[in-house]
A and B are shown apart, each in its own frame.
Chain A
């Protein structure tokens, strides 16, 4: 049975035939290790990667292709951005600096920050207001920021409630206060129109395999053209240039790209961006929002369903039935429906919405979902839990 897939916040599925074909063509060769050798296959592979850097930067409104460093996923991009920036911030403010984040963040932001707290005694301050309450978020940000604030790290869209943060307003404040701003675009990139310059962020971290429609195995850390911060390397190894140096190259992207990159996944990301550009992010946004609204409206009429997401136009709906979320997911799985239960690697978010003891069920809509699938999902939830 073909799965009815509503777990696009974890990874997008199905992979389009065009992406599969692009990866297959690459793997058929000839190819070489990019940035290592001088033979034609290696040079051609590095040229393909350069062109994808360029497309990725253009997609987010960045002019310089070298500002996009490929990583292994969004988590490694966020680790690089957060941990790599810490020394530069400490050089200005000392190791007692603080970082403003929110309770809505994924562990890919929280755990690097906890590591800095444990290792270097930085302070972590949390915005607790729901992202949909934009005024409250801004108000909390203003009250938390002080002269020792060295960094703001937030997501553009939560992976739990699906709420979009007021990241553009936050970016403006970050600029005004001269605080570097690291933005996690994991649940935003590809799902709605998004410009790095408009966001005001210095660094954007994205996965290749979610809204950008690639496959698992690559992410990117993208520096804005006006970034106020240049992270240090946090991974060391071969770069194909200046091997006699004990350090990584100083220039991005090689500064951040130790070792052989995940080329097939980068090829897939390039094709994914091409598909998104052809479809248009406005169209993608409308399609996903229409389906999400439909599911939300239907679930909100069911007495046995408790919704945690506001009807905010995101692509994610979080809910619980009267039974354990994992059992509910398993029952849906028996009907061919793929959704995700648990804590979604966002423990403080679940604490904030009072689901930390049992978690919740997450439906996440993607570009490939259809209204027929949404109707099937809603009917099965009604049949199983009402």
Chain B
């Protein structure tokens, strides 16, 4: 399991991502962006980063970056 950050275009998308992943039993947390000031994203602990990105993209979450 890895913990990684996924950036979103807005706090609304960060909460949307949080809700989508929680529904699938995946733990995550909404945070301010560690990359640059004034942005939002989530920290996710999961085994597959690609799988998380797929879930979020299919759920209509617009991403701004993956670290």
Contact = CB atoms under 8 A, between A and B. Distances in A.
Contact of A50 (B15, B31, B38, B39): B15
Which of B15, B18, B32, B62 has the most C-beta atoms of chain A within 10 angstroms of its own C-beta? Answer: B15
Interface stretch (A16-24, A32-40, A166-174, A201-209): A32-40
A254 B8 CA distance: 12
B16 interface: yes
Interface in B6-48: 9-13, 15-16, 18-19, 30-32, 37-40
A35 to B, nearest CB: 4
B39 A241 contact: yes
Contacts of A38: 31-32
B65 interface: no
Contacts of B60: 64
Contacts of B62: 251
Given A50-B16, A240-B38, A249 B32 contact: no
- Looking at chain B, what size class is its interface with the partner chain? 10 to 19
B16 A249 contact: no
Nearest to B40: A241
Contacts of B39: 241-242
A65 B59 CA distance: 11
B38 A66 contact: no
A253 interface: yes
Contact of B38 (A54, A65, A242): A242
A109 B50 CA distance: 47
Contacts of A54: 19
Contacts of A51: 15
Given A240-B38, A242-B39, A243-B38, A47 B12 contact: no
A253 B12 contact: yes
B9 to A, nearest CB: 5
Contacts of A254: 10-12
Main secondary structure on A side of the interface with B: loop
Interface in A219-253: 239-243, 249, 251, 253
A253 B32 CA distance: 18
A210 interface: no
Contacts of B18: 47
Nearest to B61: A66
Interface in A242-294: 242-243, 249, 251, 253-254
A65 B12 contact: yes
A241 B30 contact: no
Given A241-B38, A251-B9, A254-B10, A66 B32 contact: no
Given A64-B60, A65-B16, A46 B38 contact: no
Contacts of A251: 9-10, 12-13, 62
Contact of A241 (B9, B15, B19): B9
Nearest to B38: A243
29 contacts: A34-B11, A35-B10, A35-B11, A37-B32, A43-B30, A46-B11, A46-B30, A47-B15, A50-B16, A54-B19, A64-B60, A65-B12, A65-B16, A66-B10, A66-B12, A66-B13, A66-B16, A239-B10, A240-B10, A240-B38, A240-B40, A241-B38, A241-B40, A242-B38, A243-B38, A249-B10, A251-B12, A251-B13, A251-B62
Interface of A: 34-35, 37-38, 43, 46-47, 50-51, 53-54, 64-66, 239-243, 249, 251, 253-254
Given A50-B15, A241-B38, A241-B40, 5 more contacts: A43-B30, A240-B11, A243-B37, A251-B9, A254-B10
Closest A-B pairs by Cβ, 10 of them: A38-B32, A50-B15, A35-B11, A254-B10, A46-B11, A243-B38, A251-B9, A66-B12, A43-B30, A47-B15
